[in-house]
Amino acid sequence: MSQVDIAGGITASRRANGRVATVAVNSFLFKQPVYVGDVVTFYTEVIRVGNSSITVRVEVFAERVRQRGEIIKVTEATLSFVAIGPDKKPRPVPPEGE
């Protein structure tokens, strides 16, 4: 779960052009287990931007090395982050491209 939060936080931080804090885990679905030796890949997408909040979808895929490279989705989650300023209080998310 922490790795999903980190992946989502990186995407939210890039969109916010600065620091973010996790404020909610809106959904978290474990579809399949991750086994020792699996190669895990995280894909993220910003799905909503509010005044100071950013919602990110995270999908996690595992490559089953022992099963000849089979790739399956193991987890999907939606998390909300809030952009924070130097005073650690919410700040507006700048328009995209700034």
Q: What is the pLDDT of residues 45-82, one digit of tens each?
A: 999 999 999 999 999 999 998 778 799 999 999 999 99
As a whole number, mean pLDDT of residues 2-7 equals 97
CATH for the 2-83 domain, from 3.90.1150.10, 3.40.50.300, 3.10.129.10, 3.40.190.80: 3.10.129.10
User: How far is Cα 52 from Cα 58, in angstroms, rounded to an integer?
Assistant: 20
Within 1-98, residue ranges assigned H as helices are: 2-16
